[in-house]
Amino acid sequence: MTITILGASGRMGSAVANLFARELANADIEETVIGTYRNAPLAIDGVQDVQLDANDEKALAALCTQSDTVIDCLGPSAVYGERVSRVCDACSTPLISLGHVHAQGARGQILQAGAIPGFLAGAFLLAGTSAKNDVEMIYEFNGTLTPAAAHDILATDYSNGLDASYGKPHATSVDATVAIPYSDAVTWELACKHHLEVHAFSIWPQALLEAFHAPADMGLDRRALSMSAASTLGYNHDTLVHIITNPGTYDQDIITLHIPSLYEFSAAGAWLAWQESPCQNTDEAKPFALVAWDNLPSIIERALQMSGGWISRSGEDEAEEGEL
Sign of the Cα torsion 61, 67, 68, 72 reads negative
| Separation between Cα atoms, residue 255 and residue 21, nearest integer Å | 32
Same domain, yes or no: 193 and 275: no
Q: What is the mean pLDDT of residues 273-295?
A: 80
| Residue 176: pLDDT band with limits 50, 70, 90 | very low
The pLDDT tens digits for 210-231 are 555 667 677 778 878 887 887 7
Beta bridge partners of 5: 35, 71
- Please state at what angle helix 11-26 crosses helix 262-276, rounded to 10 degrees: 50
Does pLDDT of 302 surpass 70? yes
Q: What is the pLDDT of residue 66?
A: 95
Same domain, yes or no: 10 and 99: yes
H-helix or E-strand spanning residue 303: helix 296-306
Give the mean pLDDT of the chain.
78
Flag whether 319 is in a domain: no
Q: What is the pLDDT of residue 284?
A: 81
What is the domain-level CATH number for residue 101? 3.40.50.720
The pLDDT tens digits for 32-83 are 999 999 988 999 999 999 999 999 999 999 999 999 999 999 988 888 999 9
Q: What is the pLDDT of residue 132?
A: 58
- Kindly state the DSSP code that residue 55 receives in the 8-state scheme: T
Give the best-scoring range by mean pLDDT among 127-131, 250-254, 266-270. Answer: 266-270
Q: What is the pLDDT of residue 89?
A: 95
Same domain, yes or no: 124 and 253: yes
Same domain, yes or no: 92 and 155: no
Domain count, the chain: 2
Give the full edge-to-edge strand order of the sheet including 109-111: 48-51, 32-37, 2-6, 69-72, 95-97, 109-111, 285-287
Range of the domain at 92: 2-115+264-295
Same domain, yes or no: 279 and 163: no
| Separation between Cα atoms, residue 83 and residue 203, nearest integer Å | 32
| pTM for the predicted model, two decimal places | 0.83
